[in-house]
Amino acid sequence: MRATVTVMLKNGVLDPQGEAIRHALGALGFEGVEGVRKGKVIELDVADGTTEAQIEEMCEKLLANTVIESYSIALG
């Protein structure tokens, strides 16, 4: 079973890498990109029957720093 965790900086937290990507896209001639946020995707191969609550605990304890990051979980 696959669990996919997406971790992003919370809205309002400055994302300098996202800004740099936005500038680089503009320099390449891509117009109209008003915002870029860079996060990370963590794929977990977990035992069948693993619950969302268990993945959530992993996120709270290690995978995300909830002071500055938010996360979302997709199972299956």
Partner 1 sequence: MKAAVIVFPGSNCDRDLAVAFEQAGFETKMVWHKDTDLPEGIDLVGVPGGFSYGDYLRCGAIAAQSPIAKALTKHAERGGFVYGVCNGFQILTEMRLLPGALLQNAGIKYICKPVGLRVETTDSAFTSDYSKGQEITVPVAHHEGNYNASPETLARLQGEDRVAFRYTDNPNGSLDDIAGILSENRRVLGMMPHPERMSEPSHGGTDGAALFSSIASGLVSA
CA distance 17 to 14: 9
Smaller CB distance to partner 1: residue 16 or 49? Answer: 16
Least gap, CB of 48 to partner 1 (angstroms): 26
Q: Which two tokens stand for residue 34?
A: 């008003």
Q: Which residues bind partner 1 (CB under 8 A)?
A: 9, 13-14, 16-17, 20, 61-63, 65, 67-68
CA distance 47 to 59: 17
Smaller CB distance to partner 1: residue 39 or 76? Answer: 39
Smaller CB distance to partner 1: residue 48 or 62? Answer: 62
Which helix (H) or strand (E) covers residue 43, if one does?
Answer: strand 40-45
